[in-house]
Structure 1
Amino acid sequence: MKSFAAKASARAAGGAVRVFLLLAGLFWLLPTVGLLLSSLRSPSDIAASGWWEVFAAPARLTTENYASLLANDTITDSLLSTVLITVPATLLVLLIGSLAGYAFAWLEFPGRDWWFLGVVALLVVPVQVALVPVSKLFGAVGLFETTLGVVLFHTAFGLPFAIFLLRNFFAEIPRELLEAARLDGAGEIRLFTRVVLPLGGAAIASLGIFQFLWVWNDMLIALIFADSQSPPITVALQQQVRQFGNNVDVLAPGAFVSMVVPLVVFFAFQRQFASGVMAGAVK
């Protein structure tokens, strides 16, 4: 049996770890809190002092910046463009990745292992390598500076990781369970929708979060391939900085809205994200 001193030491160590993690979390959220408070201050207050001064005069907080944000057609249109890019790019990766992951895990077809090795090899291909050739291709087929072109680019580069993750997860489903479903008369489509998808919910949810965060926060691909007249929020904010360097009453709330959406998505599904990624990678 452990002595009282050993138990006390273990509890103290556990408490210290929790305190450290709490402090690390608060430190990580500090820029977000600062941005939120800055978005609630007037431009003159932002220019005169730092955001921490708000605690000395909380009555000076105002929501006028958000009213200015809603009145800015460039920012509101960019938010809509971001949604129109992020949602389809996420759903397409989930759909195609799930189907391909199931095929690589449980279907027999010629060259299956070699095809999967090719998918794994694509994981190490950087996005920058494809910018010039894809730009030429999109220009030739009329997809350059279109929402569809950005969606297709994100989908193509999101699929290798999606297939790798879901294939590893689906491969751990007991073979006996699938064989029993087949004996009951289930075809491949029914087997996929009624057995595989429910069991792979954690991995699919984690993949959806990962893809959503990547596409929403992207700036490089959006800057090159998106419509310059209706860019995503990341590009729109960058243009505001370049054109109106003192337009902080729009920049601060716009940046906070752009940041808070992926934060809400991540914190709402962080358990599925962690469990799905670990299960797919380790198994």
Structure 2
Amino acid sequence: MTTPQSALPEQTPSPSAMERLDIRADKVRKTLGTRIASVTAIVIAVLWTIPTVGLLVTSFRPQADIKRSGWWTWFTDFTSTTDNYVEVLTGSRYQLSTFFVNSIVITLPAVVIPITLALLAAYAFAWIDFKGRNILFVAVFALQVVPLQVALIPLLTQYVKWDLNGTFWTVWLSHSIFALPLAIFLLHNFMKEIPRELVEAARVDGAGHVKIFFQVLMPLLVPAIASFAIFQFLWVWNDLLVALTFAGGDQNVAPLTVRVAELSGTRGQAWYLLSAGAFVSMVVPVIVFLALQRYFVRGLLAGSVKG
């Protein structure tokens, strides 16, 4: 009795030797491509880190050694001192500790103010239907391409008229104004990705805008808020242009970046202190970024893709 042809199990044809060779070649190329990318990333990271390592090593070297040889010679003599940091932070001439406190006083409100205003504006653009909403949002988005340099002189003139010159308010307001367009855009995109069903369900339960904003949306906005907070913190802490324009002439208001810039201008007399002052300036943003980096990319990419 013969078995019908249709009843015979289908057999997958085995790949030829050439096809197997192509498959192996593809696997090798993918493996090598991954390894090459990893090695390239490691090399770039090492090259990027070398200046920071040199700055750190130089900041702990004695004045005579800094003037006599390069920082890489430290690995052979291991001569270290903390006198540079002591003189920079507590010395009567430089007093970087005062400017360090000024930077903290400037940075924290300059982060909180734009985030607070941007959250309210982003919610309005995302979930409140009002006349001219789209046109106004496009206008806010377009403000991102306006260079902040064009607003420095008009703002400074207005601050003088308001008698705010020489106070922290000038720096707080300036950083908040320059940060608002980007903050509104990022938070708006994140809010638009939140399922509409959540908001509609809250409305059915009788929740108003305030309750929806604080109880429904805010817990979901933590990654986006943290991301922009990191971005704004790094920008304000490392800023020199805005600080030099609005607070550079007053020691009681000027941040750390202004003092380090002045220190670099006198490097002929205090070259050995420049590395210590620069490292003091960069250690806080490095700590903040490393501690919260998991929020950074996730929050910035939120709303850029669906799914």
TM-score range, shorter chain: over 0.9
Equivalent position of 2:250 in the other structure: 228
CA RMSD of aligned residues (A): 1.7
Give the alignment partner of residue 69 of structure 1, picking from 65, 88, 94. 88
Equivalent position of 1:7 in the other structure: 27
Counterpart residue type for residue 137 of structure 1 = Q
Q: State which drifts further: 141-150 or 34-43.
A: 141-150
- Secondary structure in structure 1 of the residue aligned to 2:269: coil
Kindly report which structure 2 residues correspond to 1:1-283, keeping only aligned pairs within 5 A, or say none. Answer: 3-58=23-78, 60-72=79-91, 74-226=95-247, 228-230=250-252, 231-243=254-266, 245-282=268-305
Deviation at 1:146, TM superposition (A): 1.5
- Gap regions ≥5 residues in structure 1: none
Q: Percent identity?
A: 45
Contact kept? 2:189, 2:303, Cα under 8 Å: yes
TM-score (norm 2): 0.87
Contact kept? 1:105, 1:167, Cα under 8 Å: yes
Q: State which drifts further: 32-41 or 21-30.
A: 21-30
Change (3 A) 1:280 1:144: farther
- Secondary structure in structure 1 of the residue aligned to 2:110: helix
Equivalent position of 2:13 in the other structure: none
Q: State which drifts further: 17-26 or 243-252.
A: 243-252
Deviation at 1:281, TM superposition (A): 4.1
Q: RCO greater where, 1 or 2, for CA within 8 Å and sep 6 or more?
A: 1
In 2, Cα distance between equivalents of 1:235 and 1:88: 19
In 1, Cα distance between equivalents of 2:278 and 2:161: 35
Counterpart residue type for residue 150 of structure 2 = V
In 2, Cα distance between equivalents of 1:245 and 1:154: 33
In 2, Cα distance between equivalents of 1:55 and 1:278: 42
In 2, Cα distance between equivalents of 1:229 and 1:118: 37
Counterpart residue type for residue 39 of structure 1 = S
In 1, Cα distance between equivalents of 2:302 and 2:205: 29
In 1, Cα distance between equivalents of 2:42 and 2:81: 30
Deviations 1:161-192 (A, max 9, x none): 00011111101111111111122232211211
TM-score (norm 1): 0.94
Q: State which drifts further: 103-112 or 273-282.
A: 273-282
- Gap regions ≥5 residues in structure 2: 1-19
Deviation at 1:98, TM superposition (A): 1.1
- Secondary structure in structure 1 of the residue aligned to 2:194: coil
Larger radius of gyration: 2
